[in-house]
Structure 1
């Protein structure tokens, strides 16, 4: 295996650009075998690449001829993990429409916010969602596949928009990020070098396809490489996730830090896994969780960093040999220039894989996101002498306590080492003397009960393990933490509580 430096020197975008030149429909369905395996409590079914393409081309005819969908129109899909939504995704690509995923936890108001900037020509939905919005349920799908197959697939250029995703963020009103076909270049590089996908791998990314990580690298990435997409259409359960990996002999796995934390914090049974590679993305992964997987299953969970707007751009890649520094985000993705600009992680927009076209109807927000040729992510980090990135926190979350800058993540990671703590979120309350004091909200593991004694023990634990000059002043035990629909902790909602 090449070292990171060797891979970086040898990397050339041109072969990838040539390979991905056509319509995404053709690129994602030009393989043999099973494209999707679907599992739920009630059924199991599958579809081949050939069947997937045929159904997408049939739906495309209906969309063009009956719904009058044109290139650049939006097609929205409100679904969890369904074969039909992949058919709709590919049909959208084939006619040059913009695919917009909607998360099933959204209520009518959240859907309204995400569909008013550019109203969709049609909204598809799984049947149990049809009371939320005026949509065409999947049970009507078969009726729409009787119009023959699309003969002329739309030409899509690199800078044509193909996806519209609203970034929930940790603060503020969601913004509609327009994503171009260059996403395919990003997905190719990430699957090959970040995920380190190998020919014989059985890959599973259970992230919800209503969000970037699940859509980009749970559907588009695997299909691009001819891998079967596994849909476990059930609410997340730590033991069921491990059981599914055992049953399906998963060798390469990618998921969100929240899921890894829940598995490490609650799973007691020993599962017979053949897992060799694991990746985490969405938030920084706490070192204690990495340690648990190494001790229990001899698997390293590698931390990866990205955003809806730019995809995965910094990571501890599996596709080359690199030193692993515990707690680091890793090194820039091949083909990308990533640096720290005014303390913020910034991505040079002239990479062929840079796919962010701007925020829909929000020119001022789009302008704010750029500094010259650099896209600013809004995440604070530092870079060491070897070029490794170290996460500090969201720009809005980092605070000064007694004159020291503190990112909540590092304190949360220490808290996770305490035997009673399942999850935590740390914010800063204003204090007239010290500027700010640290305030932790903690979800306890099932066998622990809240008490003043436990509060004192946790406070002392942090003081000893983290720092004597920066310690917790307040601890609140809660049943759950506020999170975005994709699982990121919303600290600003906790801040509002104390104002």
Structure 2
């Protein structure tokens, strides 16, 4: 396997771009053999081949073009969990040059309205049990009726800077913003799947993230299809034991999921499973070192932490597709083909990379302008970089505070809290203090079998101040049943902060 530094020095986008330039976007994703999508639910199992997926997508595209007058640049919205039908709609949208907008099924009518008011979708699809949320949506049960036509023959040719996806950021702070994503996402996805995920020919790959969000759409649907891999959907509410059973039953060798899922597994699973897992990746928030240690101790599996955003995809990671030292707790190194640095204490990505695919926020030029400083896109996440180029996450810009002159981010304290036997999950925020500026306040979800009381609070505070550092001034602990999170699983600390 090539070393990271050799890869960085010799990496070129030219060959990747040329290989894509010779094909239309549907052929890139669906001209493969075998099963394209396999969906599992409690009472059902279904699948579709690549050839059938392509055929149905082009049939639907013809219907949308001829009867709905969908044209390049129109928005097609989809409200669904993990269904084969949404993959058909996705490819049909791409074939017309339309912009695909996924929506999460936990959204109520108001959340959907917030995400469709900037530009009204030309067509709206939904799974059948979501129909009541959108008046003019086409339920998936009607889809077969729309496929009684010929196939679209002239797939729209897209430039690299044409928009293909609209995704509203999940909003760890403030209202969600509509990020327009260009066809350059294909370049980012290719690099991440090859060098981040480290996809191999024999892999059974499963990305457990929901395709209503960037990580599940980019690297749970687009990525596997691009590499001729079967997209695996487990269309059930997340359950730690069920996730481990599924990994065991289907002999998954390469797995990707969110930190919340890994934390819940490490905190609650007690039965031993016989896993075929060889590679595991985590993205969405930093993965706490204690969770990495649990998987290594119990299953001899190393989970590699990866960093990215809806706007830019995965851009910093401990990749599986090259040789490099892994520093536990670090986000890793910049992705091949990307210039990443720290600008004004914030992680910044140079937008001159061919894989940079963020076009701006829909109807929000002011916020778009604020996201850039010269050639650099500013992520809003603060981090440090060590002498070997490894990045270390500190926190969202809004979450980092100074306490008695020391700069403290919540993640490092939350990681220490996870080492305490009773703690399942935690969120740390800062309360204002007239003397020290701020003191830290932890909201903690306890593991099953532990009861909240004042003694436990005192023991946890003492543990952090002894184990980590007294200067953080963790002075308050509240026990809660659950933490506020975005629908994609990121902790919303701003909802816990006190004014």
TM-score interval, normalised by the smaller of the two chains: over 0.9
Give the Cα–Cα distance (whole angstroms) in 2 for the partners of residues 262 and 228 of structure 1.
26
Residue deviations 1:254-298, cap 9 Å, x none? 000000000000000000001000000000000000000000110
Give the Cα–Cα distance (whole angstroms) in 1 for the partners of residues 295 and 13 of structure 2.
35
* 8 A Cα contact 1:463 1:472, kept in partner: yes
Give the Cα–Cα distance (whole angstroms) in 1 for the partners of residues 179 and 27 of structure 2.
24
Alignment of 1:129-148 (within 5 A): 129-134=130-135, 135-148=137-150
Give the Cα–Cα distance (whole angstroms) in 2 for the partners of residues 19 and 424 of structure 1.
46
What residue is the counterpart of 1:307 in the other structure?
Answer: 309
Per the normalisation by structure 2, the TM-score is 0.99
Moved more, 83-92 or 16-25: 16-25
Give the Cα–Cα distance (whole angstroms) in 2 for the partners of residues 385 and 111 of structure 1.
45
1:3 aligns with 2:3: yes
Deviation (angstroms), 1:319 = 0.4
* 3-state SS, counterpart of residue 305 of structure 1: strand
Following superposition, which runs of at least 4 residues in structure 1 exceed 6 angstroms of deviation?
A: none
* 3-state SS, counterpart of residue 130 of structure 1: helix
Deviation (angstroms), 1:402 = 1.1
Moved more, 18-27 or 105-114: 18-27
What residue is the counterpart of 1:220 in the other structure?
Answer: 222
What residue is the counterpart of 1:466 in the other structure?
Answer: 468
Residue deviations 1:71-106, cap 9 Å, x none? 000000000000000000000000110000000000
1:202 aligns with 2:204: yes
What residue is the counterpart of 2:16 in the other structure?
Answer: 16
* 8 A Cα contact 1:462 1:471, kept in partner: no
**Number of aligned residues:** 497
Deviation (angstroms), 1:23 = 2.6
Give the Cα–Cα distance (whole angstroms) in 1 for the partners of residues 207 and 471 of structure 2.
41
Alignment of 1:282-293 (within 5 A): 282-293=284-295
Deviation (angstroms), 1:58 = 0.4
1:80 aligns with 2:81: yes
Task: Give the alignment partner of residue 235 of structure 2, picking from 233, 236, 239.
Answer: 233
Alignment of 1:216-295 (within 5 A): 216-295=218-297
What residue is the counterpart of 1:115 in the other structure?
Answer: 116
1:90 aligns with 2:83: no
Deviation (angstroms), 1:10 = 2.0
Give the Cα–Cα distance (whole angstroms) in 1 for the partners of residues 459 and 141 of structure 2.
55
What residue is the counterpart of 1:380 in the other structure?
Answer: 382
What residue is the counterpart of 1:451 in the other structure?
Answer: 453
Deviation (angstroms), 1:469 = 2.1
* 8 A Cα contact 1:182 1:352, kept in partner: yes
What residue is the counterpart of 1:484 in the other structure?
Answer: 486
* 3-state SS, counterpart of residue 273 of structure 1: coil
* 8 A Cα contact 1:23 1:93, kept in partner: no
Residue deviations 1:119-178, cap 9 Å, x none? 101110000100011211000001000121111111111000000000022111111000
Residue deviations 1:35-58, cap 9 Å, x none? 011101111011000000000000
Task: Give the alignment partner of residue 411 of structure 2, picking from 404, 409, 412.
Answer: 409
Gaps of 5+ in 1: none
Deviation (angstroms), 1:215 = 0.1
Deviation (angstroms), 1:471 = 2.9
* 3-state SS, counterpart of residue 389 of structure 2: coil
Deviation (angstroms), 1:397 = 0.2
Give the Cα–Cα distance (whole angstroms) in 2 for the partners of residues 143 and 298 of structure 1.
50
Per the normalisation by structure 1, the TM-score is 0.99
Give the Cα–Cα distance (whole angstroms) in 2 for the partners of residues 428 and 152 of structure 1.
56
CA RMSD of aligned residues (A): 0.6
* 3-state SS, counterpart of residue 469 of structure 1: helix
What residue is the counterpart of 1:55 in the other structure?
Answer: 56
Give the Cα–Cα distance (whole angstroms) in 2 for the partners of residues 309 and 24 of structure 1.
20
Give the Cα–Cα distance (whole angstroms) in 1 for the partners of residues 112 and 376 of structure 2.
31
* 8 A Cα contact 1:278 1:301, kept in partner: yes
Give the Cα–Cα distance (whole angstroms) in 2 for the partners of residues 346 and 10 of structure 1.
22
Deviation (angstroms), 1:11 = 1.1
* 3-state SS, counterpart of residue 160 of structure 2: coil
What residue is the counterpart of 1:189 in the other structure?
Answer: 191
Deviation (angstroms), 1:403 = 1.1
